[in-house]
A and B are shown apart, each in its own frame.
Chain A
Amino acid sequence: MLSPLLLLPLLAIIILNLPIRSVTQKLAILVGVVLSLWQIFSVILIATGRGGTDTWAKYFSLGLSCDNLTLVLLMSIGIVTLTTILVGWQTIGGGKQRFGFMNLVFVAMIGMNGTVMLTDLFSLYIFIEVTAVASFILIAFQRDTNALEGAFKYIILSATATVMMLLSISIILLVVGDTSFAAAGSAVRQSQGNPLVIAAIGIFICGLLIKGGVVPFHGWLPAAYSAAPAAASVLLAGIATKTSGIYALIRLTTSVFANNESVNHILLLAGAISILVGAFAAMGQSDFKRMLAYSSISQVGYIILALGCGTNLAIIGAVFHLFNHSIFKSLLFVNSAAVETQSGTTDMNRLGGLGTKMPVTNATSLIAFLSTAGVPPLAGFWSKLIIIIALWQNGLHTYATIAVLASVLTLAYLLLMQRKVFFGKVAEGLANVKEAGWGITAAATILAAITVGVGVTFPWMFNSVLMPISSFLK
């Protein structure tokens, strides 16, 4: 059931690009929607045990594995890809451009699916690079100067992170002679404080922190997220950074690098600093998307903080917050896409009073920001609560207090955003603004429904769905 998730998008790319392109160009979006729906459906099948065996694994030796963490990520990838395709349908015009966009979304899908299913350090590098290349091109897709600057900064920093990861892989190759997760894990366990191995671990973690946009390596993130075209922002902020950086960190710190004390300290510190820097920087922004970018940095800080804590409950909180963040951050970016396409600007000083003109966007934006700030009964509240409880139980009282205080800051700046953009009087020049097209509103409604649904059914879901997530920890 796993290899089709990789091979079907590849097949789709090949078939759609055959010489009968004039016919297939129109089908590209439909194929994309079908594939992402199929991905969500197969995750539900696998989770309820009806997955069936992997019939294509006989022909290929792919070495894919799937546990509960993978399932959560695959579900997020499916949902956010569906959203991206819907937003892209609405915002990207012109048959050729749309076709190019769909090709790149398929490539990103293959990259992300591969990242979460593999079991080898070098394959991790390869698929992270695949996702990164698709992201570079998507950011630079419409060729305006700000986007090109953001893409170039991202390329330089991403390549630096790649060099660090490869250095670490070469040290592990030196120590153990193989690059699979199992071999690297056994090497770390057997080496007992060898400074070379510790250096390798540290360098790898730094590389992944750069990819995930964690402070102090977040330099590329605001430029890339805010300047990218609308659909690319949704894909990038919603899932691409999370998969390449954060999922890899979770996988490596729990299974390969196995609860190293110094690594935990570094993660706690980086997480706390990210939360604070992101929240404070977001308050001073006047551009809608830039503020959302700093808010992303802050939320990812929560996940890293929980990861640094290391207990079972903390890891559950981190994974749950990862899922929630992909949903509500995508929702916020979809709303920014709606505002951008309808009013032509993302400068919050020039926007105002759009709430009456765009009711659906207003409502979904309200739900999204309440979830981000952690207001019950929405999903964000529960995941933040789990993280804070886990931190408190582990004796990390200062970090827990920082997390709670930053929640208040998050509420403050997002409320400011909502008030500036949606409430109040209608600003000049915006009298003719209508609701966004049905692609964007459909995407926004789906995401808002998921956030509300997950939040409201949480007490029932806790034991059946959430606790088993930690089964991947040994």
Chain B
Amino acid sequence: MTTDMAINIILGVALVLAAAWTVMTARLLRSVIGLALTSMILTIIMFKLNSPLAAVFELSVCAGLISAIFISCISLTQRLTDEQAAAKQKERFSSFWLLPVILVLAGVALYQVHIPLDFHLQAAPSESDVRNIIWNLRHLDLIGQIVILLAGAFGVVALFKD
């Protein structure tokens, strides 16, 4: 197995482990840190898959902005007391056996189904530059993004101002 393949396997396993830790950990703050960690591993995976622009966005926005939003939310609201948190963690662990069972069943089912993967791709891609696609070809999406950012601003004003 080549080093490249080994790195990919390590990244994949790390991604799933980080997400699992995010879900199973008892305290909210650790969950948010786990979310940021998952974002970082996803960024590295995206860099390896030749998508630098999207990876940078993912890092700055998800690992940065969203973590900041969550941490400020957690600091403004009262945490559950530690016994309650521990009790809920036990509950999450106790149902955890369901997950591997579902996964094994899904794997067996998928193995049986033969998925024909000879796809008919449309004409060869004409654009290979992301910036061109966003700014020149898909103006409708651009309008949509501007409007949703405006909506976010209005929402923050409506929900936060007294």
Q: Do chains A and B touch in the complex (CB under 8 A)?
A: yes
- List A residues at the B interface (Cβ < 8 Å): 6-7, 10, 13, 60-64, 96, 100, 103-104, 107, 110-111, 114, 118, 120, 122-123, 126-127, 129-130, 133-134, 136-137, 140-141, 143, 174-178, 183, 186-187, 190-191, 194-196
B141, A126: Cβ atoms closer than 8 Å: yes
Q: Are A122 and B122 in contact (CB under 8 A)?
A: no
Q: Is the CB of B151 within 8 A of A137?
A: yes
Please determine whether A61 and B143 come into contact, CB atoms closer than 8 angstroms: no
Please determine whether B147 and A111 come into contact, CB atoms closer than 8 angstroms.
Answer: yes
Beyond A126-B148, A133-B155, 7 extra complex contacts between A and B, CB < 8 Å: A13-B147, A62-B140, A107-B151, A107-B154, A114-B140, A126-B145, A140-B159
Cβ B139 vs Cβ A60 within 8 A: yes
Number of A-B contacts (CB under 8 A): 94
Question: Complex: how many Å from CA A129 to CA B151?
Answer: 11
Answer yes or no: B150 CB below 8 A from chain A CBs: yes
Q: Is B158 an interface residue (CB 8 A)?
A: yes
- Report the minimum CB–CB distance from A63 to chain B (whole Å): 6
Q: How many Å lie between the Cα of A176 and that of B122 in the bound state?
A: 6
Instruction: Check A114–B144 contact: CB distance below 8 A.
Output: yes
Query: Given known contacts A10-B143, A194-B115, A195-B113, is B154 in contact with A104 (CB within 8 Å)?
Result: yes
Is B116 among interface residues, defined by CB-CB distance under 8 A?
yes
Chain B minimum-CB-distance residue to A129: B148
**Residues of A contacting B144 in the complex (Cβ-Cβ under 8 angstroms):** 114, 123, 126-127, 129-130
Q: How far is the CA of A183 from the CA of B139 in the complex (A)?
A: 19
Chain B residues near A176 (CB, 8 Å)? Answer: 119-122
A283 CA / B32 CA spacing, docked (Å):
45
15 example contacts (A-B, Cβ-Cβ < 8 A) are as follows A13-B147, A96-B161, A100-B157, A100-B158, A107-B151, A122-B141, A126-B141, A126-B144, A130-B147, A137-B159, A140-B159, A141-B158, A177-B121, A194-B116, A195-B115
Query: Is the Cβ of A130 less than 8 Å from the Cβ of B151?
Result: yes
Measured between beta carbons, the chain A residues less than 8 angstroms from B50 are none
Cross-interface CB contact of B140 among A64, A107, A174, A190, cutoff 8 Å: A64
Residues of B within 8 A of A103 (CB): 150, 154
B154 partner, pick from A111, A137, A175, beta carbons under 8 A? A137
Contact B119 A114 (CB under 8 A): no
With A61-B136, A62-B140, A195-B113 known as contacts, the answer to whether A107 contacts B147 (CB < 8 A) is: yes
Q: Once bound together, how far apart are the Cα atoms of A186 and B122, in whole Å?
A: 9
- Which one of B121, B139, B152 contacts A133 once the chains associate, using CB atoms below 8 Å? B152
Is A118 a contact partner of B157 (Cβ separation < 8 A)? no
B residues sitting closer than 8 Å to A (CB atoms) are 113, 115-117, 119-122, 125, 136-141, 143-148, 150-152, 154-155, 157-159, 161
A148, closest chain B residue (CB)? B159
Given A60-B139, A137-B155, A177-B125, A10-B146 contact (CB < 8 Å)? yes
B141 contact from A64, A123, A140, A143, Cβ within 8 A? A123
Contact B151 A134 (CB under 8 A): yes
| Contact indicator A104/B151 (Cβ below 8 Å) | yes
**B152's closest neighbor in chain A, by CB?**
A133
Q: Closest B-chain residue to A64, C-beta based?
A: B140
What residues of B have a CB within 8 angstroms of the CB of A129 in the complex?
144, 148
Of A61, A63, A104, A137, the most chain B CB neighbours within 10 A belong to A137
Q: Is B120 a contact of A190 with CB atoms below 8 Å?
A: yes
Inter-chain contact B150/A13, CB cutoff 8 Å: yes
The answer to whether A174 touches B155 (Cβ under 8 A) is: no
B116 contact set on A, CB distance < 8 A:
194
Residues of A within 8 A of B148 (CB): 126, 129-130, 133
Residues of chain B contacted by A64 (CB below 8 angstroms) = 140
B159's nearest neighbour on chain A, judged by CB, is A140
**Nearest 8 CB-CB pairs, A to B?**
A126-B144, A137-B155, A60-B139, A107-B151, A177-B121, A133-B151, A103-B154, A100-B158
Give the complex CA separation of A327 and B159 in angstroms: 30
Which residues in B have their C-beta under 8 angstroms from that of A136? 155
Which of B137, B141, B158, B159 has its CB near the most chain A CB atoms (within 10 A)? B158
- Tell me which residues across on chain A come within 8 A of B143, comparing CB atoms: 6-7, 10, 62, 110, 114
A428 to B51, CA, bound (A): 68
Q: How far is the CA of A178 from the CA of B161 in the complex (A)?
A: 42
Contact residues in A for B155 (Cβ distance below 8 Å) = 104, 133, 136-137
When chains A and B are docked, how far (Å) is the Cα of A100 from the Cα of B156?
11
- Chain B's closest residue to A192 (CB) is B116
Q: Is the CB of B140 within 8 A of A123?
A: yes
A52 to B120, CA, bound (A): 39
A13 to B146, CA, bound (A): 11
- From residue B48, how far is it (CB to closest CB) to chain A in Å? 18
A40 vs B116: C-alpha distance in the bound complex, in angstroms? 48
Residues of A within 8 A of B125 (CB): 177
A107-B150, A110-B147, A129-B148 as given contacts; A196 in contact with B139, CB under 8 Å: no
Of all chain B residues, the one with the shortest Cβ separation from A119 is B140
User: What are the residues of chain B within 8 A of A60 when measuring CB–CB?
Assistant: 139
Please determine whether A137 and B140 come into contact, CB atoms closer than 8 angstroms.
no
B115 interface neighbour in A127, A177, A196, Cβ under 8 Å: A196
B122 close to A118 (CB less than 8 A):
no
B140 to chain A: closest CB distance in Å? Answer: 5
